[in-house]
Amino acid sequence: ALFSAGGSSVDDEALANLQAGGHDPSRNGFTVQNVEMFIGGAVDHYLDGQANLVFLIDRNGETVVELEEAFLTTRALPYGLQVKAGQYFTEFGRQNSQHPHTWAFVDQPVILSRFFGGDGLRSQGARLAWLAPLPWYSEFYLGSPNAKGETVTSFLSVPGETVGSYTLIDRGGIRKVADLLWSARWLNGVDISDTLSANLGVSALDGPNATATDTNTRIYGVDLYLKWRPLVNQRGFPYVAWHTEWLTRNYATPDGALKNSGGFTQVLWGFTPQWVAGLRLEYADGKGDDGTDPLRDQRKRTAPNLTFYPTEFSKIRLQS
């Protein structure tokens, strides 16, 4: 469970645009960000199952219940292969597939809220993963989820909503392969030294959008994660972790294309057991019709924080 309390120099209406993540603290006072129940285990010798049920209270005080994830994964396919099928977060970048309780900051990065919506990019579908037989960790992902729904905002999304100056139409159901959203990711991990490790990933998405009957969206991303930890440490402390992601989107329309890009970089310093200091810098470019469009104006955001972990089961975080 995640609960927060805070205040801002702007009112709740302005906060709703500035804090666009579905689990962000988005009003002055108290917020129930997320209460999540995880169910998982082995189904049989061939499959594992997982489900994540989420409860939260929205800005209007209404209780929301949703099935965030529910999927099966294979356990023992040959040649390093694995299949996942069901409702799941798409493997794009490092943070999109993380659940809020694992975030290093209290809110979702701006660029992810803009490209993937308040609840992150997730849908119903299937994906194939292949762990390549290489001297280092190298895994490929190829997926094909549905492109329609409120959690695929850069694609077919929900008819009647607006993107820029366009009102989204209903393109109907899936009739051909091009009506699906296609996702790809390549993730590599190496130990640079005995104390330094790195993960580097590249991701891509291609699918239809609903500004017309033949328009599509493409999103590309690159992510880097570095972690340093000395050989002599106490319960994993001290450490320094650096996480950076950059994304770019080409959203085709009948009159051309809406192009946006942005990213974030964040550093965590676990300077002593139970204490972690963090700093996140964010940027999202502004190419909207005017500066009042909260989803397409230029944004820069800096967020320092300090987290205390009384035990491995709880945390107290202060963030500006």
pLDDT digits (tens, 9 = 90+) for 202-215: 999 999 999 999 99
* Rounded distance between C-alpha atoms, residue 36 and residue 66, angstroms: 10
Q: Where are the alpha helices (DSSP H) in the chain?
A: 12-18, 110-116
User: Which phi and psi (to 5°) does residue 21 adopt?
Assistant: -70, 140
56-85: average pLDDT: 93
Give the mean pLDDT of the chain.
94
Per-residue pLDDT, 253:
92
pLDDT at residue 115, as a whole number: 95
Is pLDDT at 24 greater than 80 in this prediction? Answer: yes
| Peptide bond just before 238 cis, omega within 30 deg | yes
Q: What is the rounded CA–CA span in Å between residue 186 and residue 223?
A: 10
* pLDDT tier at 294, thresholds 50, 70, 90: low
45, 63, 44: which is closest to 53 by C-alpha? 63
Residues in CB range of 80: below 8 A, 6 or more apart: 130, 131, 132, 133
Six token digits for residue 52: 């994540």
Dist. CA 221–CA 205, nearest whole Å: 9
Q: Is the pLDDT of residue 290 over 50?
A: no
Q: What is the pLDDT of residues 183-197, one digit of tens each?
A: 999 999 999 999 999
Q: Are strands 47-57 and 162-163 parallel, antiparallel or unpaired?
A: unpaired
Q: Is 61 left (phi over 0), alpha (psi -120 to 50) or beta?
A: left
> If you count them, how many residues does the chain have?
320
**126 pairs with which residues across the strands?**
85
For residue 261, list its beta bridge partners.
248
Tokens for 222, please give them: 């690159």
Write out the two tokens for 95.
């943070």
Compute the distance between CA of residue 298 and CA of residue 307 in angstroms, rounded to an integer. Answer: 29
Tokens of 127: 């994906």
232: number of CA atoms within 13 Å, CB side? 0
| Mean pLDDT to the nearest integer, 45-54 | 97
Distance (Å, whole) CA 121 – CA 95: 11
CA-CA distance, 131 to 140, in Å (whole number)?
7
Per-residue tokens: 157: 């999304």
pLDDT tens readout for residues 89-129: 999 999 999 999 999 999 999 999 999 999 999 999 999 99
pLDDT digits (tens, 9 = 90+) for 160-186: 998 878 899 999 888 888 899 999 999
Exposed/middle/buried for 69, CB within 10 Å: 0-12, 13-18, 19+?
buried
Q: What's the rounded Cα separation, in Å, for the pair 127 and 141?
A: 7
Say what the pLDDT of residue 293 is.
60
pLDDT beyond 50 at 27: yes
CA 245 vs CA 1, 31, 140: distances in Å: 27, 27, 18
Q: Hey, which residues does 294 pair with through a beta bridge?
A: none
CA end-to-end span of the chain: 21
The predicted structure's pLDDT at residue 277? 98
Supply the pTM of this predicted model.
0.94
Phi/psi at 94 (5° precision): -95, -40
